[in-house]
Amino acid sequence: MKYLKLLLVISAFGLAFACSEDFLELNPQGALDGSALQSPAGIEASLVSAYSLLDGWNGQWGNFGPWGRDAGHWIWSGVASDDAHKGSDASDIADITQIELYQWLPSNGLLNDFFTSRFEGVARVNATMLLNNSSESIAADRKAEIDAESRMLRAHYHFDMYRMFKNIPYYIESDDDFRKANGTDILPDIIADLEIAASNLPVSQAEVGRASRGAAQAYLGKAKLFAGDFAGAKTALNAVVSGGQYSLAPCFHDNFDASKDNNSESVFAVQFSVNDGDPGGNNANYGTRLGYPHSGSPFGCCGFNQPTQDLVNAFKTDANGLPTSAGGDVQGANAADVVDPRLDWTAGRDDVPYYDHGLHAPSWIRDRNFGGQFSPKKTQYHSDQVEFSSAASAGAWGPQASAINYNIIRYADVLLMLAEAEVETGNLERARELVNMVRSRAGDCAQSPSGISTSIDDAGITWATYNVGTYNDAWTDAGAARAAVRLERRLELAMEGHRMYDLRRWGTLASTMNAYFAANNSRSDDDIAKRKYLSAAFNVEGKHDAFPLPGTQVDLSEQDGTPMLQQNSGF
């Protein structure tokens, strides 16, 4: 059994902190006075409790349940980008539509759900560190490892918050008042914790899912990219590559197949499980369960998180298998469409096999006039994988329960982050080599007529012409190299929670999103690809480089009538 979600064990030690509106007034240290928690077993249970919030879900619904808390940020980085629409229909969870249209308000309850879930994770980590620091019964080497694992988790939860809000406090184990002021850049604190973690974590862990040295180095490289320290990012990411611990999985789809969880490409992942005795399926992919085909599909609900026409078109390739900007829209099955095979591992298209569930059909879409014609695919399971899906004990959400892990960082991401750092430090040919590694793997497999992996040249593939090639000409122009790396990130990591945050750190969010909305609005009203509701989108501007802090949390941070949390500019 995957250990990270042993919620019954955790609750026995009293570590299930409430995720409520008065979170900033909690003092988690005071909840840990039980003598059992002073023992090595109690401290280890506290650490497991900290890991268990990686999926953002503790079983409490809050404003909108698990959706805004999801580890994969499908709302915040997918729907808020040019990769995904909210989907479903216009009336269902309209607060997500507000995020998609950049009509951002501090009162949006989804923001508070995210905020409280991540800071609950921080509280659990700091509680573990306090216990570990005071313990005299844990061996010194294990004590150092617990500290390193805790620092990795603390950095992760804060980094998740930083990507969302930027302007937040950094909470450490010695804090006794959670009404801290914001306004100081916390990336140096995140980096400092990750550096300690990378120096003290073991190369490998006996228990699947625990943080390792490579995971901390990869995360350190990512944090340094966000800080604009490309040389530092290069050093950290090169350490992951040269360590030889990870490699690209044989097939791109292996990263979205529960039977291949924790493969050679998985660097740091949220561990999911089903059919494990939990009556509510809480250990499965709770936060992504809205993102399944609806209506006439085998899943029955709920039609959210639909890929955009813009994303689908990005997979078009030319005669050399390289990305092309040729006009025209990729729709359903069409053998004349020359596309990267990753498209049909990423988006469900009409008359194209949806794994082994049969052909994707118009009836699978809840409201095609609203959300478009495509369905998400990376978090869905194969019909023959009963042991990894459809937990019979998961109630109404059973058909959407899945054990497909979510990779917070996978090796392809590491290679592309390193390629980016190489471009920015002037090593264009090394960047090309790294991108070509990812593209070469993309051509190693495609979805077969029966839904399993096959050669991209399989004669049974009648719905597209697959072609994906490598960049064979030397890269000599930094601008062109930068654009190629950024596009490859979009193709490889589509629908995995990276897109909007990438646009932000590249400084291209406003230009990309405004162009995306304008292109949609310029389509004729009867164009199948037009989403008419997008005409209500607000102009994207500088203030959108951070989401507004939840108004509830700003109010709760007051000291002597003055909020310690200052709202982000423009909100």
Query: Three-state secondary structure along 307-339?
Result: ECHHHHHHCEECCCCCECCCCCCCCCCCCCCEE
Ordered alpha helix ranges (H), 35-186: 40-52, 94-100, 109-134, 140-165
Whether omega before 301 lies within 30 degrees of 0, making that bond cis, reads no
Please name the residues in contact with 553: beta carbons below 8 A apart, sequence gap of 6 or more: 23, 24, 112, 115, 116, 565
Packing angle, helices 140-165 and 40-52, rounded to 10: 20
| Dist CA 183 CA 265 (whole Å) | 37
pLDDT of residue 542: 97
Task: Determine the longest span between alpha carbons in the chain, in angstroms.
Answer: 73
pLDDT of residue 300: 87
pLDDT of residue 28: 41
Positions in the chain short of pLDDT 50? 1-32
The amino acid sitting at 336 is A
Instruction: Identify the structural domains of the chain with CATH numbers, from first to last.
Output: 3-201+545-563 (1.25.40.390)
| Dist CA 213 CA 268 (whole Å) | 10
Report in angstroms the alpha-carbon separations of 211 from 53, 146, 308, 319: 14, 10, 34, 43
pLDDT of residue 278: 81
CB of 306 closer than 8 Å to CB of 416: no
Please name the residues in contact with 150: beta carbons below 8 A apart, sequence gap of 6 or more: 47, 50, 125, 126, 128, 129, 132
CB of 81 closer than 8 Å to CB of 518: no
> 0.85 exceeded by the pTM?
yes
pLDDT of residue 22: 36
Q: What are phi and psi of 146, to 5 degrees?
A: -60, -40
| Dihedral (Cα; 294, 296, 300, 304), 10-degree rounding | 0
CB of 209 closer than 8 Å to CB of 271: yes
Q: Which of 284, 297, 155, 293 is nearest to 227 (CA)?
A: 155
Q: How far apart are the first and last CA of the chain?
A: 45
CB of 98 closer than 8 Å to CB of 107: no
CB of 25 closer than 8 Å to CB of 556: yes
> What DSSP element (H or E) covers 420?
helix 411-424
Q: Which residues pair with 470 in a beta bridge?
A: none
How big is the chain, counted in residues?
A: 571
pLDDT of residue 282: 87
pLDDT of residue 279: 77
Q: Which of 10, 18, 2, 12 is nearest to 46 (CA)?
A: 10
Alpha carbon of residue 413 to chain centroid:
12
Alpha carbon of residue 297 to chain centroid:
25
Q: Is 159 left (phi over 0), alpha (psi -120 to 50) or beta?
A: alpha
CB of 465 closer than 8 Å to CB of 339: yes
| Dist CA 281 CA 341 (whole Å) | 33
